[in-house]
Amino acid sequence: MQKIVINTQHGGFSLSAAGLKRWAELNGKECYFFKAAYSFGDAYVPLSLEQATEEKYFWSAFTIPNPNEVLPDTSNWHEMTEEERQKANGEYAEYSLNQRSMKRDDPTLVQVVKELKKKASGVCATLKVVSIPDDVKWEIEEYDGLEWIAEVHRTWS
């Protein structure tokens, strides 16, 4: 059986800080938390795991202890060339722990959700591991963040 992680409540897929930290640990990666930047060029302010767990903070996570020293200054984003923007985005992607791009059938993600149970779920998320037959080609469908697994089929419009 294939095991796939979905979000079973409106809001959207997200891991908690503890869930992301455990996922990174299992993948041999460091995980450092920072207050989420709201404007281009904002400095990243470090957060402890405990602070990132508090619901009053929106956070970002990186594999490096100080993204301010490594990531390019983007305070002039609107004056940057397309090439400079792409380079900055590439460097961000290299060091950030982006849970939205995780493969939902990633065995490590499945392990984290099974181990941590409710503590793996992020804000507005209730994560669940669903088992489906090995021979099913699947996709995740959703409405307002509430997800389910659907067998892939053809559609036209």
Region at 39 (left for phi over 0; alpha for psi -120 to 50; beta for the rest): beta
What pLDDT band is residue 67 in, cutting at 50, 70 and 90?
very high
Q: Which of 75, 96, 117 is the last residue of a domain?
A: 96
Does 107 share its domain with 146? yes
Does 51 share its domain with 91? yes
* Residue 64 domain flag: yes
Q: Does the global pTM surpass 0.85?
A: yes
What is the SS3 assignment for 17-62?
HHHHHHHHHHCCCCCEEEECCCCCCCCCCEECHHHHHCCCCCEEEE
Total number of domains constituting the chain: 2
Does 89 share its domain with 107? no
* Residue 7 domain flag: yes
Amino acid at 130: V
**Residues 47-66: tens digit of each pLDDT:** 999 999 986 678 999 999 99
* Residue 25 domain flag: no
Q: Which of 69, 96, 123 is the last residue of a domain?
A: 96
pLDDT at 133: 97
Average pLDDT (43-47) is 90
* Residue 119 confidence (pLDDT) above 90: yes
* Residue 123 confidence (pLDDT) above 90: no
Tell me which residue range forms the domain holding 57: 32-96
Does 90 share its domain with 108? no
pLDDT at 40: 67
Does 5 share its domain with 38? no
* Residue 23 confidence (pLDDT) above 90: yes
Does 92 share its domain with 109? no
Does 89 share its domain with 106? no
